A and B are shown apart, each in its own frame.
Chain A
Amino acid sequence: KAGVTQTPRYLIKTRGQQVTLSCSPISGHRSVSWYQQTPGQGLQFLFEYFSETQRNKGNFPGRFSGRQFSNSRSEMNVSTLELGDSALYLCASRDSVSTGELFFGEGSRLTVL
């Protein structure tokens, strides 16, 4: 099976712009989660989608949003970018019936100037 695929891998934006990141989960996985990784903060949970519905949401401002399509592919959007949004954004998928293991993509490295 192909792994979790994230695009783009790297991108540079300026403050005030918006960005959309894409994630294709492992075939058959219906749950997609998004995490933000910054130095010293570890992986911070953004949100999880299952069957096109948001299941869980972390403590991030409303500028961070996401959605999931009928084919389980997911996108996350960050509007009005701030310097502090510079981070590695990781997408992970899992078998909805399991309780644990997440399969991560390689991430999208966002730099905000």
Chain B
Amino acid sequence: DQQVKQNSPSLSVQEGRISILNCDYTNSMFDYFLWYKKYPAEGPTFLISISSIKDKNEDGRFTVFLNKSAKHLSLHIVPSQPGDSAVYFCAAGTGANNLFFGTGTRLTVIP
């Protein structure tokens, strides 16, 4: 039972344009959400998070949007850079319990 879903396994974007990665979840009890980035042969690294009391969180080129009614969150990267090419995982959790991860979206930024 996949409680966190990333329906797009891959995404290609031109350098300088916006990348939008999407994530859906089913458990309405989730109260915080995170995005992780993973390069080959490395572990995932934390990118940005948002709690359920917010609908937007911004950190430099990265912005996460949360739509609780739709159980949907998205990560916007503007402008996209070739170094952003990686697999992006969204994750969701409740309190201090374990995180549930999506299946990942491979982002390729074309120079």
Contact = CB atoms under 8 A, between A and B. Distances in A.
B104 A101 contact: no
Contact of A48 (B36, B43, B89, B98): B98
Interface in A92-110: 92, 96-107
Given A41-B103, A42-B103, A99-B32, A104 B45 contact: yes
Interface residues of A, number: 27
B41 interface: yes
Contact of A42 (B46, B49, B89): B89
Contact of A101 (B4, B41, B49, B97): B49
Contact of A45 (B41, B89, B100): B100
Interface in B74-109: 89, 91, 93, 95-104
Contacts, number: 60
Interface residues of B, number: 27
Contacts of B91: 43
A42 B43 contact: no
Nearest to B102: A42
Contacts of B9: 40
Contacts of A92: 43
Interface of A: 4, 33, 35, 40-45, 48, 55-56, 58, 90, 92, 96-107
